[in-house]
Structure 1
């Protein structure tokens, strides 16, 4: 019996929650016998914060500083993607694709999911309380409400290591 080929988008970031969600996905969703899945690892670089000389902050950045900040953001993206790819190295029949996009993570994840026609999106949950979620917004909640495919939200238990593969 042939296994249906699936395309699964996993959003990754610098946090331990993200590494745990990817590991959980690999062990519980992708690790099926004869799986021919495609795993899309997505890292989203947040947009630059725009400061105005008129807003009272006094932040004006030279082109050298902006270039340096961009290089740092790209280096972080590369590091996160490489770490995620290492977690996937034991997969045999699974194709791993990587993407790095710039923008608001909530919108980028939903847009990439739609453009690439994924069957599922896997996200971590930072477990913010009501107040933090109100101020910071919840990427996972936004994606669960706006993605046109199923969204699996994985919350890391407080006593479990992020890169555990058990």
Structure 2
């Protein structure tokens, strides 16, 4: 007997336009879905154009003005979000998962994913590993590391296997 939507355990996947994210979706769909006990929520965090800072006046800021640059940046972020969501929908359809919820939230991915865990009362948060080295993780920050320490659920970090030549 299948559980009702409200009784199903929620699996949240953090998605972006990376190969690591695509692999995390595939891996999760292969291992958990379609399932009578899990419900899938895919969450994409998109930056706010206003969060982008400029080091100082540049040719583009002097010619276009900051307002126009923010508008252009926002259009680019929207286009990326649409591409990410469309790609995730297609992957779900290919794996016969037709009831996945897809959400785009503006903000820092670390905070957005932890808030999604709370919002959906997730049992599992899945994030892909970009495979960055220690220095890049320190400089750029690691979404998976942050979520592993701050999300109130099990966090699964999916790493694409390296192909040995």
TM-score interval, normalised by the smaller of the two chains: 0.7 to 0.9
Checking the alignment, whether the CA contact within 8 Å between 2:2 and 2:37 is kept in structure 1 is: no
Shift of 1:37: 2.6
CA RMSD across the alignment: 2.1
Give the superposition deviation at 1:144.
0.6
* 1:25-40 pair list within 5 angstroms: 25-32=28-35, 35-40=36-41
Partner of 1:63: 67
* Partners of 1:37 and 1:95 within 8 A in 2: no
Give the C-alpha shift of residue 65 in structure 1. 2.2
CA drift of 1:67 comes to 1.1
How does 1:55-134 map onto structure 2 within 5 Å? Answer: 57-59=56-58, 60=61, 61-92=65-96, 95-134=99-138
Aligned residues, how many? 154
Q: Matched residues in 2 for 1:114 and 1:85: separation?
A: 23
Q: Which runs of 5+ in 1 are unaligned?
A: 161-166
Unpaired runs of 5+ residues, structure 2, are none
TM-score (norm 1): 0.83
Cα pair distance change 1:95/1:134, threshold 3 Å: same
Partners of 1:39 and 1:95 within 8 A in 2: yes
Shift of 1:93: 6.3
